[in-house]
Amino acid sequence: MEETQGAVNGEASEYEGSVDVLSPEDLSELLAAGTKEVHEKAENTQFVKDFLRGRIRKELFKLGAVALYYTYSAMEEEIERNKEHPYFAPLYFPQELHRRDALARDLEFFYGPGWQSAISCSPATQLYVDRIRRIGREDPVLLVAHAYTRYMGDLSGGQVLKKVAQRALKLPPTGEGLEFYQFDAVHSAKGFKQLYRSRMNELELDPETKQKIVAEAVRAFQFNMEVFDELDEIGKSIPEEAMDAGLPVHGAGGDISKCPYYAAKTAAGGGTEYACQVAMAVLRHPTGQVLFAAWVAVLAGLAAWYLM
C-alpha cells in the first residue's frame, strides 16, 4: 500500500467533487447512522463542551495528549500487524493518518526531552488500549471500527479544536504542541473522508460482520467518553492557580455574560468585548483588585466633592 500513497491523495481530491451512490447497507452509512446517538453524547460530555468553549486547563490538555498517545500507539501497532489483512488493507493509510509520531513530538514539546518517563497510562485509557490490543490479535476486522471512530473524527473537527487550543493555551502559531491536529499529507479532509468511506464500502463483509463493526464503533465512542470523564474528574482536583492564566476566551464561547462590565456595555449599547476581557484579566490579580478599589475610592471622593 505504501507505494500507492501518492496516488491516494490524487484519488482523494478526485473524490471531493464526486457523488458516490450510497445504499443504506453500505458500511459508511451504517456507521454514521449507528453512532449518531453516541456521537451526540460524546459532544455533550463536560470535558468536550469545556474544550470547545476554550476553557482548557493546560495540565488537562497535556494529559489528554498523553491518553491519545497511548491510544494511537496501540491502534497503529495493531494496524501495522494487520496491514495486509483483506479486512483492513484498503484502509491502511499510514502516511496520511497515523498520529503516533505527531503525538510524540507534542509530548516532547510539553514535557521536555525526558517525556517518556514523565507520562503514564491512565486507568480509562488502559481499558481502551486493552480492547484495541485484544481485537488486533483476535478479531482484526473490528479495527475498522476503531480507525473510523478516531481518524474520521479527527479529520472532521481537528482544525476547529486546534484553533481553540492554540488560542486558549497561547501555543506558538508555528504549531508546536498541536501537531496531532495537523494532517500534512491530507490535502483535502473532505475528499479524503469520501475516499475512506468508499474504501470501507468496498470491504467484502456480510451483514452480520457489518453490525459487529457498528457495535464496536459505539464501544469505541464509549471508551473515548470514559477518558473524557476521567479527565474531567482530574480537572476538578487541579487548583484554579494551575489553570492557564490569561484572557478569557469569550470569542470561543467563554461565558461573557458573567462579566460585570458586559451587562453595562450591553445596556449602553457600545464598548468592546476586548475592554471587558482586559478588565476581567486585571481583576483576577490581587494588584488589579487593589488598583480597582483605589480607582473606585477616587471616583467616590470626586463625586462627593462635586455634590457638596
In terms of CB distance, is 157 or 271 closer to ligand HEM? 157
Q: Which amino acid is at 281?
A: A
| Under rule CB under 6 A, residue 20 binds ligand HEM | no
224 binds ligand HEM (CB under 6 A): yes
Distances (CA, A) of 102 to 29, 52, 79, 291, 307: 30, 22, 17, 45, 66
Least separation in angstroms between residue 193's CB and ligand HEM is: 6
Asked if residue 163 binds ligand HEM (CB under 6 A), the reply is no
Residue 112 CB partners (closer than 8 Å, separation 6+) = 118
198 with 90: CB under 8 angstroms?
Answer: no
Shortest distance, position 140 Cβ to ligand HEM, whole Å: 19
Specify the residue, 225 or 259, whose C-beta has the smaller distance to ligand HEM: 225
Are 248 and 280 in contact, with CB atoms under 8 Å apart?
yes
> What part of residues 57-116 is at the interface with ligand HEM (CB under 6 A)?
none
Looking only at residues 41 through 60 of this chain, which bind ligand HEM when binding is defined by CB under 6 A?
A: 42-43, 48, 52
Question: Which amino acid, residue 180?
Answer: F
Least CB distance to ligand HEM at residue 9 (A): 18
By CB under 6 A, tell whether 39 contacts ligand HEM: yes
Within the chain, how many helices (H) and strands (E) appear? 16, 0
The amino acid at 127: L
Count of alpha carbons within 13 Å of 218, Cβ hemisphere only? 12
Contact 144, 203 (CB under 8 A): yes
Q: How far is the CB of 217 from ligand HEM (least distance, A)?
A: 7
Nearest alpha carbon to residue 166 among 182, 184, 190:
182
Q: Is 153 in the site for ligand HEM (CB under 6 A)?
A: yes
133-152 binders of ligand HEM (CB under 6 A):
148-149, 152
Number of residues that bind ligand HEM (CB under 6 A): 16
Q: Which residues of the shown chain bind ligand HEM in the complex (CB under 6 A)?
A: 31-32, 39, 42-43, 48, 52, 148-149, 152-153, 156-157, 193, 221, 224
